[in-house]
Chains A and B, each alone.
Chain A
Amino acid sequence: MIKIRVNGKPVAIHDEDKTLLDVIKEIGINIPALCYHPGLPARGSCRLCVVEITKPSWNGRSKIVTSCLYPCEDGLEVLTHSPKVIKLRKVIIKLLLARCSDSKELQELALQYNADVSRFGTKENEKCILCGLCTRACEEMGIEAISMVNRGWKKEVAPPYYEPPENCIGCGACAEVCPVGAIELTETNGIRRIWNREFEIQKCVECGKYFATVAQLEHLHNKYGIPLKDLKTCPECSKKRVGTVLKKTFFD
């Protein structure tokens, strides 16, 4: 068992794989963590989850670390809202806001941390904070249709060669996990558009309802060998099909 203190309060941790952020969230302390998603590996890119840590043996010295990556070590004293942390978090919010001035999420944070006036110039029309949640989601899906491209101020998320990504299945997980709603996904008349590519949406062969992209179904077929014809009914109609078989089982 690991024992740490968070803002002076002792906390006992049984699962050694937990990060400081896991523990902080668990005990109900709210700190911003835009690039963190419980289902994806942490990467520490937004830097908002910074906390101050120290140990009695450090002779009064402390460190600033990203809590989403830092493991729980016995004897750690963690400060989530110390003056140093607040000051730093404020700068990070200002920087992010300078990049994405229209982001509601960032504006809310700015309000919360009193970081409204940005002394940095603003960038036009930028929504992405480069946190990499989308690329991680795509990677975990085993698809890797998008990635970070370029370096420095030219860095951005894009499919290879900025072309409509061939291996993308249009599942929309990237848009779903994006903390600032920067990825556009639209659906009209049986076509889903994302990453500049159009995906045909499968019409349920029974009821005609659109329910998943054809590419998603092909992915399921290719990867798991599920027969394509079994994938062409929407959940409701699949259920009806099972119902029909059961009806025969019991009543015929």
Chain B
Amino acid sequence: MIYPEKCIGCSSCELACSFQHTGEFRPTKSRISAIRWPKMGVSVPLTCLQCEDPSCMKVCMVGAITKDKETGLVSINQEKCIGCRLCTAACPFGNINYDPEEAIVFKCDLCDGEPQCVEFCPNNAIEYREATDALLQRKKKVSAKFAEILEEVR
């Protein structure tokens, strides 16, 4: 769950994420990004939404992308990946990236249940919690409004 109103655009999540996954502090290798509007003092943290019916998974012809039935996590099996990179273009939210240095595609893996972005966010703008009714309510409300605005801007 994200709380953009709490995000201060500090990059802690990006640094923690890239360090966790690559051992380097490099936001370009982060699975999460804060999109910033510095003049407005606004920023929004964004990462994989672990979609119900993931486009990335649909376009992967070798079954390298799967969704865990229990946890909902959408993950990439690097060994199976044949490098066609269709998933990077198919994700409507731009949450799968290609790393030319490693020649791999990568996405958020929720750090095996302990997301480092959550751990290091100084202002609790990202949370990782069991879905309660209240949270689901909020999510529904946000997605309804999101869908509305998305229709407008298209």
> Which residues of A line the B interface, CB within 8 A?
37-40, 137, 140-142, 171-173, 176-177, 211-212, 216-217, 219-220, 223-224, 226, 230-231, 233-251
Contact A231 B42, beta carbon cutoff 8 Å = no
Segment touching A, from B53-61, B67-75, B110-118: B53-61
Contact A217 B89, beta carbon cutoff 8 Å = yes
Segment touching A, from B16-24, B77-85, B128-136: B77-85
Question: What are 30 A-B pairs with beta-carbon distances under 8 A?
Answer: A38-B80, A39-B81, A39-B82, A40-B62, A137-B62, A140-B62, A176-B82, A176-B83, A176-B84, A216-B86, A220-B90, A224-B55, A230-B92, A231-B89, A233-B94, A234-B94, A235-B89, A236-B94, A237-B94, A238-B91, A239-B35, A239-B93, A243-B44, A243-B46, A244-B35, A245-B153, A246-B146, A249-B145, A249-B149, A250-B4
Q: What number of residue pairs across chains A and B have CB atoms under 8 A from each other? A: 132
- Cα distance A236–B91 when bound, in Å? 11
A217: B residues at CB distance < 8 A: 89
- Is B10 an interface residue when CB atoms closer than 8 A count as contact? no
- Cα distance A248–B154 when bound, in Å? 14
B58: A residues at CB distance < 8 A: 224
- Is B97 an interface residue when CB atoms closer than 8 A count as contact? yes
Q: Which of B59, B77, B103 contacts A220 (CB 8 A)?
A: B59
Secondary structure call for the A interface: helix
Number of interface residues of B (CB under 8 A): 43
Contact A212 B64, beta carbon cutoff 8 Å = no
Contact A248 B149, beta carbon cutoff 8 Å = yes
Contact B90 A224, beta carbon cutoff 8 Å = yes
B33: A residues at CB distance < 8 A: 236, 239
Contact A172 B85, beta carbon cutoff 8 Å = yes
- Cα distance A183–B41 when bound, in Å? 49
Contact A171 B94, beta carbon cutoff 8 Å = no
Contact A216 B89, beta carbon cutoff 8 Å = yes
Q: Which of A171, A224, A247 contacts B84 (CB 8 A)?
A: A171
